[in-house]
Amino acid sequence: SEVSEKCLDQILEYSTRPSKRIRGSLCAYIYDSSVSAHFTQEGLKAGAVIELMQNYLLIVDDVMDQSVIRRGLSTVHELYATDMSLGSRRDAEMIALLTGLLVQHIAVITMHDIDLPAENVLRASQVMQRHIAITELGQIDDMKMSIKNYKDISDNDLLRKYEQKSSYYSFVNPIESALLLADRDPSLAMKDSEKYGIPAGVAFQLRDDWLGIFGDVQKTGKSNLDDIREGKYTYMVHEALKVASDDQREKIVSILSNDRADKQDLEEIKAILIDTHAEKEAMNFADNCVAKASSVASSAHSWGAQVKSVLQDMVKFSVERDK
């Protein structure tokens, strides 16, 4: 139908928007390095699979968060709300969710089309689905962690959410999938991928949180009000609430409970995060995660010296980037 064809066209447009493509590039690079080759079709196709899975997660996440901008342009559900003759905004959101699911199916089909031994592809596909399932469990926890029940959220709860929601799909998945496609030892691939990828992913997400509040919108391609209006419960917010004055704590709860928060509210949140040193504490924790990941990158046995250097540079970049 015309509507379904438009959805497929939207997938292509969304997937080719300018973006970092860190995950797909990492997967392709790890695969090529593991087989001592450059720009292989197998590596490129595996990288495309990882990026498609990323797009699936983002499309669904944007509906949940009611975000309006992604990669500098309208989110998929916003495009459907304005470009399609639909009965309601809810219909636009439901079709966006279905579009996201279509992207996931395309990713799996593409994975099984990689011209490698069937057992390698099967292992990588199973691992990828496991990692995406873990990511979705983290997303469930993220939806549950509201500013309104912040007193019930422990440090361990928050760290688990960061690891599940960010680490697995951002770093563990592209690395472990690539190693399995390259026929590396499965148990060692899992061990090295998780030991490096979990702290690397936490560091990456901590920087994402910082950019969501303090970043330059022209560079990030996402509104600084999104996380505020969503009431996103971040490590910075968690640390601020521990030491904030009663007035500051009341402001944090009030602003993060307001889905119509404005620029003045954003500036107040910024001031509190700085005044309580929560912003600095989050970046210090990110640096500690970088150090841990860098150490693992150096000592792991699943990759060689050149890959070790690249992984160290990548995790360092993750906390220095401005978009």
Distance CA 211, CA 269 (A): 14
Give the pLDDT confidence score for residue 87 in this predicted structure: 67
Q: Other C-beta atoms within 10 Å of 3: how many?
A: 11
Give the pLDDT confidence score for residue 3 in this predicted structure: 82
Residue 41 lies in a domain: yes
Residue 193 lies in a domain: yes
Residue 173 lies in a domain: yes
**One pLDDT digit (tens) per residue for the chain, 323 residues:** 888 888 899 999 999 998 889 999 999 999 999 999 999 999 999 999 999 999 999 999 999 988 888 988 899 999 988 876 666 889 999 999 999 999 999 999 999 999 999 999 999 999 999 999 999 999 999 988 989 889 999 999 999 999 999 999 999 999 999 999 999 999 999 999 999 999 999 999 999 999 999 999 888 888 899 899 989 999 999 999 999 999 999 999 999 999 999 999 999 999 999 999 999 999 999 999 999 999 999 999 999 999 999 999 999 999 999 98
Give the chain's length. 323
Give the pLDDT confidence score for residue 218 in this predicted structure: 87
The one-letter code for the residue type at 310 is V
Distance CA 228, CA 293 (A): 30
Distance CA 276, CA 278 (A): 5
Structure tokens at 108: 């799996």
Supply the pTM of this predicted model: 0.92
Number of domains in the chain: 1
> How do residues 247-297 score in pLDDT, each as one tens digit?
999 999 999 999 999 999 999 999 999 999 999 999 999 999 999 999 999
Residue 121 lies in a domain: yes
Distance CA 232, CA 143 (A): 9
Map 192-222 to HEC letters: HHHHHHHHHHHHHHHHHHHHHHHCCHHHHCC
Distance CA 98, CA 67 (A): 17
Cα 107 off chain centre by: 17
Give the pLDDT confidence score for residue 84 in this predicted structure: 67
Residue 47 lies in a domain: yes
CATH, residue 61? 1.10.600.10
Residue 323 lies in a domain: no
Distance CA 278, CA 38 (A): 43
Beta-carbon contacts of residue 111 (< 8 Å; ≥ 6 apart): 46, 49, 121, 124, 125, 128
Closest residue by Cα to residue 232 from 92, 69, 64 = 64
H-helix or E-strand spanning residue 231: none
Beta-carbon contacts of residue 204 (< 8 Å; ≥ 6 apart): 166, 170, 171, 315, 318, 319
Angle between helices 89-111 and 118-144 (to 10 degrees): 150
Q: In terms of residue numbers, what domain contains 126?
A: 2-318
Residue 10: C-alpha distances to residues 89, 202, 209 (Å): 17, 31, 28
Residue 116 lies in a domain: yes
Closest residue by Cα to residue 208 from 63, 319, 92, 58 = 319
Give the pLDDT confidence score for residue 283 in this predicted structure: 98
The strand ranges marked E within 32-144 are: 69-70, 73-74
Question: Are residues 150 and 231 in contact, defined by beta-carbon separation less than 8 angstroms?
Answer: no
Distance CA 27, CA 187 (A): 18
Give the pLDDT confidence score for residue 200 in this predicted structure: 98
Residue 219 lies in a domain: yes
Structure tokens at 50: 């990882």
Residue with tokens 């090295």: 192
